[in-house]
Structure 1
Amino acid sequence: MVAMATFKAFNSFCVSLVGVFLYFWQHFPDNHKFITSHRTAVIFHSRQLTMKSNIFYLLLSFLCLNSLFACNTDKDLMAPDRSPISVSFDNESGVYELKTGRQLTVTPIVTNAVNPRYKWVDDRGTTVASGLTLSFSSQTEGVFYFTFCVDADNGSAREEIRIDVLSMVIPTVTLPSEMQTTVGRELTITPAVSTGGDESAAYEWQLDDTAVSSDTVFTFHADKEGSYTLRLTVSNSDGSGSAEMKINVTSGQDLSVSFPRSEIEVLSGRTVSLAPIIRDTIGLTSYEWSIDGRLIADANGTVLEYTPSSPGLSTVSLKVTDSNTSRAASVSVNCLQATEADRYRPATASSSADRVTVYEFRPAPGQFIHQISATTATEACREAERRLANNQTVSLGAFGGYITVGFDHSVRNISSDYDFAIAGNSFRTSNEPGIVWVMQDENGNGLPDDTWYELRGSETDKPETLYNYSVTYYRPTAAGSPIAWADSGNLTGTLTVMPSWPSWQNTGSYTLSGTRLKARTIFSTEWSNEPFDWGYADNMGSDRLTDSENPDAGMNYNYFKIENAMSASRRPVSLAYIDFIKVQCGVNSTAGILGEVSTEVFGFLDCTMNRQAE
């Protein structure tokens, strides 16, 4: 940071020279004509060289030097935001049904627009609304088209919707096809219902053919195992529509223990942090660790720090016992002959500081997931990679969604300085924090299949921060329908604002895990996601290295230090370099009409390539 201060001082010195020069030029005019732009000056015409010319060239030299030095500061490594304006609606098809005489209100969500101006025009080009929201009603049947127009300083966008006005609108109902829960656990079921604007429609929930509720949302719980059929019928004066789903209930909480991988490879001399996933403990719980069958007397917690004494394989086991039962799990630890220095990949003349390979892209459902259309996980990675190369947004969706990237070289750990940066689009009231993880390619196979180390942030040691938290998402039966979720803490909910299911995720459900921060989503006169102090991507923390509140939601970087890496027990880990970076959405929250809190990334930057190691 001393070097950065020196650069800033040098920059201020050059700016002062500019002021002196301009004063001199103003008071001693001649026939030189020039214009100045950022850190450069171009002379268009000169009749003769004067003393001022010499001063000008001297100043130009200072400015060039200043530009050269400034290229090494973290702030000036920031790239301009090239993300296109995005417009989305609460109906993915863009087709709305409305009964005659009723009113429909449509409010789109606009992102990446700088100083936007909005209007709605009909199919004749007549402006029918001058703001963000369209309110429409008609006494006669027909098909009506409207175009939403955004004109901003950084471009424009046009999106069309269709409104079908009908004399009769029979309700349509959509539910998740299937969900799972355990005995005594509550599930909140939120349906997707269209009634053509009829707010008087009646709801009837039936559980195994027995009427149980008339509310718009249903909370389910069962006292015994089994498969239950839940049916919702919605009726109005024009008719009724219905949908049903299965809820499978298993026995109450059952202790489970597992390791994320069956084998872990570790470099010679390094300590590996073993953190199994332990679920559903009841009452007093004990932990017994053993290595190759030998009990470790002083190891009685949920995490084991293990340093192999020599290269080779060893088996580490954990037995967990609670008030009801015992469960055990094992993992193989392969200590390699190689050292940390053996795996280092230096940057070359062809290396890039901002081009990355995407190795994994597994977002949670969310309103912007449809921006990446793919049929396989490999296609999704390549499309995400293309978007990052163009500094376009890649949304990670709701909690747990993540992306894993790597440069074509190792990123060095420069002591007490920032080593890499991640671009997001946070601004004062929009902070969607991403947990950052780093990894060395310890086994040297070029893949992110070694040990992840989370980077410490401002929330790391706070009691409300949860580790190994998980959320299971359930596929909806129709595009745009609410997406149900259930978490590892027996809480349930739904994503309701234009949620998209990843097109390449073919299973009926999937689970994402990671570190969860306590949400800072608040509502006063409008929704706001408040910032965290430091240590997270897509967040207005102090590690943005700027005081700007980014009112136009442009791309901006958070900077990170490898020296903040920590083990699963949150002890510091010394890494000379890293090879892979993972960003994981770290909050499970929704902000009303704004939808789910979803970390967004625009790019990655190696800050060390133009810097000499200390």
Structure 2
Amino acid sequence: MYKSNIGLLLLSLFIFISCNKDETIGRNILQKPVISLDSETGIYVIKVGKELTIAPTVEHTEDAIYSWIVNGKLVGMESTYTATWTEKGVFYVIFRVETPGGTAEEELRVDVAELAPPVISLVLPSRGLKVLSGTDYLFTPDIQNQNEHNFRCEWIRDGKVVYTGVSYTFNESRLGSYPITIKASNIDGETIKEIVVEVVETLPYEVKFEKPSYFQTSTDRYTFAGRPVYLSPLLEYFDRPDYTWSVDGVVKEGENNQTFVFTPSKVGEYTIKVSVAENPNATKSLTRNITRATTTLSAEVIVHCSARKQEDNFRPASANSLRTQHKVYEYTPAPGQFIGELNTAGFTGNERTQADAIAYATRRLSVKNYVSLGGFGGYIIVGFDHSVPKTSNQYDFTIQGNAFDGSSEPGIVWVMQDINANGLPDDEWYELKGSETGKEGTIQNHAVTYYRPAGKGMDVRWTDSKGNSGKIDYLLAYHAQDFYYPQWVKEDAYTLRGTFLQSKNIQDPSSGIWKNQAYDWGYVDNFGKDQLTGGNTQDGSGQKNGFKLSNAIFRDRTAVDLQYIDFVKVQVGVNAKSGPIGEVSTEVFSFIDLSITN
């Protein structure tokens, strides 16, 4: 969320001078540097009076200029930074690398304490750690403060120390669950982390269909005659899947892609089945090369074709209808600095269930206070007490954010009709296209998995469907709630999916000011061309974007004819952070039907 930290700016001390064209003749295309910190969490713990060396790994360093900045002051210009920390406290350090190919930057935290016991960090799969029988699995945890006196790391199984050292290779042929304890100690204390390894004969392949939202359980799909549904299974552990689709037991010849488009021509219920077979050739897993036996799994989804027509379900507005949203149906943000925040964000600290989260969001929207959606994929679902019609107006409805020039945090808009007429948002979501739809770098059905941090005040780690990883930074200086991970999400990891946009945040090389640049049109909390008049362009107060139902699209980006909608979902569309300002996170304040003017 850019707005709350706009005054906290860093002064850039050096202006990067790029190479001229003559200097680049004959060279390969220069790549932006990539920084990998030597701490998995980005947090370094050190004792008062002790020396700490921070040694990141940097790729693409040709003609690199390094900058280490502490409290706005340049303290080093080497690829590593060594300092003796003489004061107790929490210190934020910026490491910046500038090359002709671009600029990369990481913010890290140094906790200077009177004591510095070991800190163990180990990211595990969201579904638990599963290892094939009789194969090696190498544990390489990140353990800080190994240089303190009397450091020792022990790996314990069945009450016995089986290995002494930081890295440990696990190998077990017998199937079952094996608890393992990591015990790290030094002169200042002891830290214990417990994990469970499940030894399996085959990896737990899985095929399932996506639900309309995270907290729903049914995967059933609903449509009208002649309107297609797009079906794509979600897979686990498959490397080279082959697909076979069938409808009511009849195999659809030639349909062997991951996405199957089914268009019912008449009323009824249809059972759609997908069978996914793993290619029997040798494939590479994440940890080792193995030859897998042929594996085939199936999943089914029921598609309901309504006997009603689109116009039959329209709910006209009455004299008592609300112009704004009537109800919040779900609030599932990604982790972020304003999730659980007790001051400006208005959380109580007691939000422990989805009902609590919905009550929080309802309370905030009712008085047009912002609701933050956290990082990429975080979303909110609202509904109206009537159907919002497609009109001849320029826009059919509007959503309030708080964007201003230099501060756009785009949210993707999805809409839904109540096809099954049950009053719940459990039907088909249709994206409203925007200026980035179809552009290179825009990814549909992108997925990011967030992992619950091991303790209070820690960053939130994430991995995505493209193999990338990173973290939502814990910004202690600004927002000090215990966790940025939503406390009403009970799982230790959860996955959010949606449309991904290329980020447009930049840092001015001379002033150090971060700017989240605007997209042309089509997004919430965005300083684009589709803004309604009346908003404050200095702080974003009252800023609104307008939206048209004529922009609704199917997954293949073809238009869908929606004469009205009943539900709206806003989902954060970028996965980016702007230095000390933190993650880019969409904020919403209200949803307004423009067909109601009174």
TM range (shorter): 0.5 to 0.7
How do 1:19-418 residues align onto structure 2 when only pairs under 5 Å count? 168-171=114-117, 173=119, 175=121, 179=125, 180=128, 209-212=163-166, 231=182, 239-240=188-189, 242-246=191-195, 248=197, 256-260=206-210, 261-278=218-235, 281-283=238-240, 286-324=242-280, 325-371=295-341, 372=347, 373-415=350-392, 417-418=394-395
Counterpart of 1:32 in structure 2 is none
Secondary structure at the counterpart of residue 370 of structure 1: coil
- 8 Å CA contact retained: 1:264, 1:331: yes
Q: Separation in 2 of the partners of 1:422 and 1:527?
A: 25
% identical equivalent positions = 38
CA-to-partner distance for each residue in 1:212-238, whole Å, 9 max, x for gaps? 48xxxxxx9999999796858586xx7
Specify the alignment match of 2:546 in structure 1.
559
Change in CA separation of 1:140 and 1:558 when aligned onto 2, cut-off 3 Å = closer
Segments of 5+ residues of structure 1 without an aligned counterpart are 1-82, 89-96, 103-130, 144-163, 214-219
Letter in 1 for 2:413: V
Deviations 1:486-526 (A, max 9, x none): 32333333323245222322332222222222333433423
Letter in 2 for 1:516: F
1: CA distance, partners of 2:199 / 2:550: 45
CA contact (8 A) 1:289 1:316 kept: yes
Cα distance in 2 for residues equivalent to 1:221 and 1:429: 50
Aligned to 2:414: 437
2:436 corresponding residue in structure 1: 459
Comparing 274-283 with 417-426, greater Cα deviation is found at: 274-283
Aligned partner of 1:515 in structure 2 is 499
Task: Spell out, residue by residue over 1:277-298, the C-alpha distance to the aligned partner (whole angstroms, 9 max, x if none).
Answer: 2455534x54332211223335
TM-score by length of 2: 0.65
- Tell me the equivalent position of 1:155: none
CA distance in 2, matches of 1:597, 1:567: 27
Output the amino acid matched with 2:273: S
How many Å separate the matches in 2 of 1:459 and 1:188? Answer: 40
Q: Which string of whole-angstrom CA distances, capped at 9 and with x for unpartnered residues, describes residues 463-502 of structure 1?
A: 4222322222222233322222232333333323245222
Q: Contact conserved, 2:525 with 2:588, CA < 8 A, in 1?
A: yes
Matched with 1:476 is: 453
Q: Give how far 1:332 is off.
A: 1.1
Asked whether the equivalents of residues 257 and 278 of structure 1 are also in contact (C-alpha less than 8 Å), the reply is yes
Equivalent residues of 2:5, 2:581 under 8 A apart: no
Give the Cα–Cα distance (whole angstroms) in 1 for the partners of residues 235 and 298 of structure 2: 10
**1:577 equivalenced with 2:564 (yes/no):** yes
Closer, same or farther: CA 445–185 of 1 in aligned 2, 3 Å: farther
The 3-state SS of whatever aligns with 2:253 is coil
Cα distance in 2 between the residues matched to 1:273 and 1:86: 42
Residue aligning to 2:578? 591
Q: Distance in 2 between matches of 1:383 and 1:566?
A: 31
Within the candidate set 529, 532, 556, 2:519 is matched to 532
Structure whose CA Rg is larger = 1
1:512/1:100 Cα in 2 relative to 1: closer, same or farther (>3 Å)?
closer
CA distance in 1, matches of 2:149, 2:545: 49
Distance 1:394 1:234 in 2: 43
Say which SS state the counterpart of residue 379 (structure 1) adopts. helix
Partner of 2:489: 505
Q: 1:140 to 1:399 in 2, by over 3 A?
A: closer
Partner AA of 1:508 in structure 2: D
SS in 2 for 1:426: coil
SS of match in other structure, 1:544: coil
Superposition deviation, residue 175 in structure 1? 4.3
TM-fit CA distance, 1:452: 0.8
Distance 1:190 1:337, change over 3 A: farther
The answer on whether the counterparts of 1:207 and 1:228 sit within 8 Å (CA) in structure 2 is: no
Deviations 1:581-605 (Å, cap 9, x if unpaired)?
0111122223232222222111111
Residue type matched to 2:427 in 1? D
Q: Following superposition of structure 1 onto structure 2, how do residues 541-556 of structure 1 map, counting pairs within 5 Å?
A: 541-545=528-532, 550-556=537-543
| CA distance in structure 2 between the aligned counterparts of 1:86 and 1:590, rounded to whole angstroms | 13
Give 1:577 deviation, angstroms: 0.2
Secondary structure of 2:340's counterpart equals helix
SS at structure 2 position matched to 1:507:
coil
In 2: Cα distance, 1:551 partner to 1:273 partner:
42
Q: Compared with structure 1, are the counterparts of its residues 190 and 592 closer, same or farther at alpha carbon in structure 2 (3 Å cutoff)?
A: farther
SS at match of 1:270: coil
Q: What are the Cα deviations for residues 100-150 of structure 1, in whole angstroms up to 9, with x where unaligned?
A: 889xxxxxxxxxxxxxxxxxxxxxxxxxxxx999xxxx9999x9xxxxxxx
Q: Report the residue type matching 1:327 in the other structure.
A: L
Shift of 1:534: 2.0
Report if the CA contact (8 A) 2:226-2:263 is conserved: yes
Residue identity in the other structure for 1:413 = K
CA contact (8 A) 1:188 1:493 kept: no
Letter in 2 for 1:239: D
Contact 2:406 / 2:516 at 8 angstroms: preserved in 1? yes
Give how far 1:396 is off. Answer: 1.1
Q: What CA distance in whole angstroms lies between the structure 1 residues aligned with 2:563 and 2:137?
A: 47
What secondary structure is seen at the aligned counterpart in 1 of 2:356?
helix
Deviates more, 1:330-339 or 1:366-375: 366-375
One-letter amino acid of the counterpart of residue 221, structure 2? I
| 2:403–2:539 contact (8 Å) kept in structure 1 | no
The CA distance in 2 between the partners of 1:316 and 1:322, in whole Å, is 20
Question: Relative to structure 1, is the Cα distance of residues 593 and 317 closer, same or farther in structure 2, using a 3 angstrom cutoff?
Answer: same
Distance 1:584 1:554, change over 3 A: same
Deviation, 1:248, is 4.9
Distance change in 2, residues 1:201/1:466 (3 Å) = farther
Q: Give the 3 Å change call, closer, same or farther, for CA 398–139 of structure 1 in structure 2.
A: closer
Structure 2 spans left out of the alignment, 5+ residues = 9-44, 51-70, 74-84, 90-110, 157-162, 211-217, 281-294, 342-346, 476-482
> In 2 relative to 1, CA 422–241 (structure 1 residues): closer, same or farther, beyond 3 Å?
farther
- Separation in 1, partners of 2:209, 2:256: 17
Question: Residues 165 and 432 (structure 1 numbering): CA distance in 2 closer, same or farther, change over 3 Å?
Answer: closer
Higher share of residues assigned helix = 1
CA shift at 1:84, angstroms? 10
Which residue is equivalent to 2:105?
none
Relative to structure 1, the CA distance from residue 546 to residue 132 in structure 2 (aligned partners, 3 Å threshold; closer, same or farther) is farther
Q: 1:248 to 1:165 in 2, by over 3 A?
A: closer
